[in-house]
Chain A
Amino acid sequence: MKKFLTILITKLLRFAGKLIGRGSSKPGQVALRLCPDILSRMELPKYIIAVTGSNGKTSTVEMIAHILTKNGLTVAWNKEGSNQIEGVTTLVLGSATLGGKVKADILLIESDERFARYTFKYIRPTHYVITNLYRDQLTRNGHPEWVRDALADSITDGTQLILNADDPLVSAFGQSRDNVIWFGADKLSTDTEDLVSVYNDGAYCPVCKAPMVYSTHHYNHIGHYRCTACGYHRHDTQYTITSVDMDKGEMTIDGTHTITLALKSLYNIYNILSAYTVASIVGIDGAKIAADMNRYVLKNGRVITFSLGSRRGTMLTSKHENSISYDQSIRVAAAYKEGCDVLIIVDAVSRKYFTSDVSWLYDIDFEMLGSDNIHQIVLAGKYVNDLAVRFSYTDIPNEKIRLFESIDEAADYLNSDRSEYIYVITCFSDKGKFLVKVKED
């Protein structure tokens, strides 16, 4: 009876919440107060697929849901991205009958990496994808090893781990487990022999802390590594990006399936590979997955194309306090051969909590914006002075840089008769302040 009532109330709250445009955490929060172990009382589908990691989880989950749905499976997933236990509870109860049976072939859960241990105390994933562990929101996350330790508590025996072999910290979860599925990239044409990054989180082995060596870097510390002391090394992969052609915007998986990319970023290819891996495990044919991922445009608002007067541009939503997210966006702009202007906005460091910390700017490889095809760099927002100081520690000449405290004025400045494409790099917390000035596609 308690279970029935909890589910009913959650559904009603969810319905009401949707009407007034509220988020999806609250109903789950109420449900957990009414019945703390409600999640363990539910009848769950055969497949419970969880995705976690610092970056790419929302996009990966969206892609998995897209492929599975396209292939006739019903998927219950947290579309709104509420990824702590409350949001997951709303998802599970909202997708269930009043008797407590989840009406879907697959339960697909995006999970916050620090709080996964609470959620998965009640729901044990059958499959658990870990995408990467980066320096991400360190003002509340501490550091990547701190997050690793929190995440380790969420992994139980009997769960099929699906790990990014190219991330040394993530791969370490596969130590002393024999049933791991690995995905990753072969040496790619976009790789570098030397590290391209301000810092090196792959300098030391995550297992024994002796120095590591890389035979190739895909980006930052993601690549093919080997510890010089304990032998810990990048694992062979079952699902593999065998080549990429960033000029043509194509990636090939397992040497056979070529996918045309809607967004030419290395991030995007990893997200596609994770989605491919999961869909393959569920039993979808590789050719079908590749067709579903071909030119796939994410619907989660991370990439927005727009017009500003006569000019065209793309906003690459990046995460403040996450240098690799910024590095990826900067790479996309730096690879735009026809020439472009770049706008970077830091106005509120976070939308969810207060902090005024700008240390993370020093972990971003802004030097990459020094390439000749980047014509103008516009810096804007409340923290424009800090951006200006950060850029003073690059070799980029002052003449290329314009500063505006006001985002409005920065947008007005860019609304000129220049013909260059515009890339806007900023965070969820600040993107709306620019988007009001443009016409979105």
Chain B
Amino acid sequence: MKILHYYHDLMNLYGDYANVSAMRRILEKSGESVTVDRRSLGEDVDFSEYDFLYIGSGTEQNQRVALADLHRHADALRQYIADGRLALMTGNSFEMLGRTITDAAGTTYEGLGVFDFTVTEQNKTRVTADVIYTCDFLAEPLVGFVNKCSEIKGTNPTLFTVKMGLGNFDGDKREGVRVRSCYGTHLTGPVLIKNPHFLAFLAKKLLGREPETGYLTYEKAGYAVTLSELSRRADAE
């Protein structure tokens, strides 16, 4: 199995790199041999080599630098997604897949156009929240944290339903985007460690069989504590 951790040094703001560590571990525990390629600005990338693509979150400035670089791969990336290969983009990295990103000064940047949504940033208030999301493909909810300054309009289809916290824009009850096996969510940090069931779901897609999950004892216990803390919080609000 080959994993591409793209813009590993530019888009890695909240310990996002650990999603790649988690995917590597579950695949190895399931008997696969795994290679992780870390690539960044200006480097050659052949998407067709990879089984899993991951990009994490970055500052607004870094996202623009990554986007400018990613444009040269726009066709290859669209093909990768159209072929139904697995991609996870967390934080503001998935915003690059939309039609446009408009910054706080009003400058508009062309996105890759994989999705039809548009992104609008502001620079007054950082929008952050602990969140609980649900979706139709996982029995248990997801927990995590969102940390952004943008609103995303026109997402279809979306990935998650908001039980607590933030959606794609103020008041929206839907979060992220999904097409085929490309998953985009504004959840930040080690999403796949905080949500071992989501990790297992993605690993199963890659493997075509049930992955080994017996080793995830502390991950599951940590998830239970966070879900209970957040649920208590949600009830209090």
Chain A residues close to B by CB (< 8 Å)? 135, 138-146, 149, 198-200, 203-204, 209, 211, 354-363, 382-383, 385-386, 388-389, 392-393
Measured CB to CB, the nearest residue on chain B to A357 is: B145
Within 8 A of A (CB), among B11-25: 12-18, 21
Contact (Cβ within 8 A) A389 B126: no
Measured CB to CB, the nearest residue on chain A to B10 is: A204
Within 8 A of A (CB), among B180-237: 188-190, 193-194, 218-219, 221-222, 225-226, 229-230, 233
Which residues of chain A are within 8 angstroms of B222 by Cβ–Cβ distance?
A: 358, 383, 385-386, 388-389
Which residues of chain B are within 8 angstroms of A356 by Cβ–Cβ distance?
A: 130, 143, 226, 229-230, 233
Interface string of B1-39 (1 = CB under 8 A from A): 000000001101111111001000000000000000000
Q: A200-B9, A354-B233 are in contact. Are A393 and B21 (CB under 8 A)?
A: yes
Report which of A140, A203, A360, A393 forms a contact with B126, defined as CB distance below 8 A: A140
Between-chain CB contacts (< 8 Å), 28 pairs: A138-B147, A139-B128, A139-B147, A142-B149, A143-B13, A144-B59, A146-B126, A204-B9, A209-B61, A211-B41, A354-B130, A355-B145, A356-B143, A356-B230, A357-B144, A357-B189, A358-B189, A358-B222, A359-B16, A359-B189, A362-B17, A362-B18, A382-B229, A386-B225, A388-B222, A389-B219, A392-B218, A393-B18
Once the chains are docked, how many angstroms separate the CA of A357 from the CA of B221?
A: 15
Contact (Cβ within 8 A) B233 A145: no
Once the chains are docked, how many angstroms separate the CA of A138 from the CA of B59?
A: 12
Q: How many residue pairs bridge A and B at CB < 8 Å?
A: 101
Once the chains are docked, how many angstroms separate the CA of A141 from the CA of B226?
A: 21
Contact (Cβ within 8 A) B59 A385: no
B123 within 8 A of partner (CB): yes
Which residues of chain A are within 8 angstroms of B18 by Cβ–Cβ distance?
A: 362, 393
B114 within 8 A of partner (CB): no
Q: Kindly provide the distance from the CB of B15 to the nearest chain A CB, expressed in whole angstroms.
A: 3
Q: Kindly provide the distance from the CB of B25 to the nearest chain A CB, expressed in whole angstroms.
A: 8
B51 within 8 A of partner (CB): no
Measured CB to CB, the nearest residue on chain A to B126 is: A142
Q: Kindly provide the distance from the CB of B91 to the nearest chain A CB, expressed in whole angstroms.
A: 10
A149-B123, A209-B62, A389-B219 given; 4 more Cβ-contact pairs under 8 Å: A142-B128, A357-B189, A362-B17, A388-B222
B151 within 8 A of partner (CB): no
Report which of B145, B219, B230 forms a contact with A139, defined as CB distance below 8 A: B145
Q: Kindly provide the distance from the CB of B57 to the nearest chain A CB, expressed in whole angstroms.
A: 9
Shortest 3 CB-CB contacts between residues of A and residues of B: A359-B189, A362-B15, A385-B222
Which residues of chain B are within 8 angstroms of A143 by Cβ–Cβ distance?
A: 13, 59, 147
